[in-house]
Amino acid sequence: MADPNLEQLEKSLRDLRNRFVLLTAPHRPSLWKYCLRLTGSPWDAEDLLQDTLLKAFSRMALLGQAVELKAYLFRMASNAWIDQKRSAKALWEDIDTMDDAAIDDSAALRVESREAMEILVSTLPPRQRVILLLSDMFDFTAREVAAMLETSEGAVKAALHRARASLKSLQDAPEPHRARTGLTPSDPLIARYIEAFNSRDPAALVSLLDPGAVNEIVGDWEEHGTEMMKKSSLHYWSLENGRIWAEYGTLFGRPVLFGFREDGARPKVLAEILSLQTAGDRVVSQKWYFFCPELLQYAASLLGVPAKTWGYTFDAAFNEDGTPKV
């Protein structure tokens, strides 16, 4: 039996989180782009973004003072990503040992080409990458970057000089990753899932799920078990009007289902992405990228189709009866 106190706490926290989502929404597109440039993968970018927002929300009560939100979020993302790389000793460079004497200002030419940023992932040490992106792509000052990384302006300028010099010495960018769709899955379970999805048959979908399966609607909602799914996500999904279908494909090497819609005069728009985990003859978990507009727009651009996005939360996008808010 559910604890009523816990249920009330969950509702209060969800209301607060929705307010936090609205507060951070103006910074989400640029933060996601930053995470993408840091990680080089849309999957890792989305994970880093969600981890950053979750950590930022959980720490709000501990701050004790107001902060400049954009800088606070970028700082959290930077430090989270650097911490992930600390174990890779060969990639780590301690910029705190640098000083202003290491900088030749006449040689520290700004890298203007946005395309050049695409090669950062495979060429620069983590902290150089962070500093170059914050400075040259997102226009933070050396003083602001130093405050984010808790180092000196001189160390930031030295790392920035080295990063720019490294970029200018490069000749060729790595081959870009691609997204593909319209493929045939080798796993018959995935084929049956697509068939049930395209038939708009919630009962058939449930029959393919483990009873305790977890459905993570990334960034907004989590459901444990098929009973919860039937009452919530699958219920609202079944109410949606218009043609909906899924195609099997890959995005940056990960097998996924791309969910498409007919949207007025547009015959095919990308509206969702599903990543399934299977065990035996059942789907045991799925990540449903529905309220992730930046990821959807990025994937759609690779597939050469428009994207239909839904904002960041169900409460903001839909009415209680499942109809879209105007």
Q: Name the pTM for this structure.
A: 0.76
20-29, 104-113, 152-161, 231-240: least confidently modelled range: 104-113
Which residues, including other chains, have CB under 8 Å from residue 99's CB and lie 6 or more apart?
152, 154, 155, 158
For range 178-192, the mean pLDDT: 93
| Identity at 312, one-letter amino acid code | Y
Mean pLDDT of the chain: 83
For range 270-295, the mean pLDDT: 96
Q: What is the DSSP letter of 122?
A: T
Residue spans of alpha helices (H) in the chain: 4-24, 28-39, 42-59, 69-85, 126-132, 142-149, 153-168, 188-198, 202-207, 226-231, 233-239, 293-303, 314-317
pLDDT at 83: 82
The pair of structure tokens assigned to 255 is 């097998």
Classify domain 179-317 at the CATH class level.
alpha beta
Where in the sequence of the chain do the CATH 1.20.140.160 domains occur? 4-168
CB 252 within 8 A of CB 42: yes
pLDDT at 27: 96
Q: Is the pLDDT of residue 273 over 70?
A: yes
pLDDT at 54: 92
Partners of 275 in the β-ladder: 287
57-61, 208-212, 289-293: least confidently modelled range: 57-61
Where in the sequence of the chain do the CATH 3.10.450.50 domains occur? 179-317
> pLDDT for 22-73, tens place per residue?
999 999 999 999 999 888 889 999 999 999 999 999 888 787 777 899 999 9
142 versus 274: the higher-pLDDT residue is 274
4-168 has CATH 1.20.140.160 classification = yes
Q: Is the pLDDT of residue 197 over 60?
A: yes
Measure the CA–CA gap between 210 and 121, rounded to whole angstroms. 38
108 versus 309: the higher-pLDDT residue is 309
Radius of gyration of the chain, Cα coordinates, nearest whole angstrom: 22
pLDDT at 95: 40
247: Cα within 13 Å, side-chain hemisphere: 15
